[in-house]
Amino acid sequence: VPQKGTLNITTEFGKIEVKPNEICIIQLGIRFSVAVSEPSRGYILEVFDGHFELPCLGPIGANGLANPRDFLTPVAWYEDRDLEEFTVVSKYQGKLFAATQKHSPFDVVAWHGNYAPYKYSLDNFISVNSVSKDH
């Protein structure tokens, strides 16, 4: 969740630009890199057990506060270059491990399914009984 500055996130699925007032979710096991081009500040949360679940929202429905179309996945992109050495750092059970490979981890050309990183602009959030958006 960037508070100041824009984050340019590269994943195996493509690129996502995350600005202040947007949140970005990158699931477990997805390789990513974060680049900044200006002074940046924000908040990072790592979930150690389980995953996020939407609460039961009763009469307003499961998607009553956010429209599914507002959750954006990465723009397709891949990196096609051979390298002498690319270091991938992984975290497992609280410890960091490094491995090297001779190609970019972002060389995935196609994917399908719904297990992908995404972002959501908090400007699109609709409060209950609010006139923050049109009805």
| 135 tagged catalytic | yes
Q: How far is CA 133 from CA 21, 22, 83, 124, in A?
A: 17, 17, 49, 8
CA 76 – CA 78 distance, rounded (Å): 7
Query: Which residues make beta-bridge pairs with 92?
Result: 95
Give the torsion sign (CA, 36, 94, 85, 75).
Answer: negative
Identify the active-site residue in 51, 103, 112, 135.
135
Query: Which residues are known to be catalytic?
Result: 135
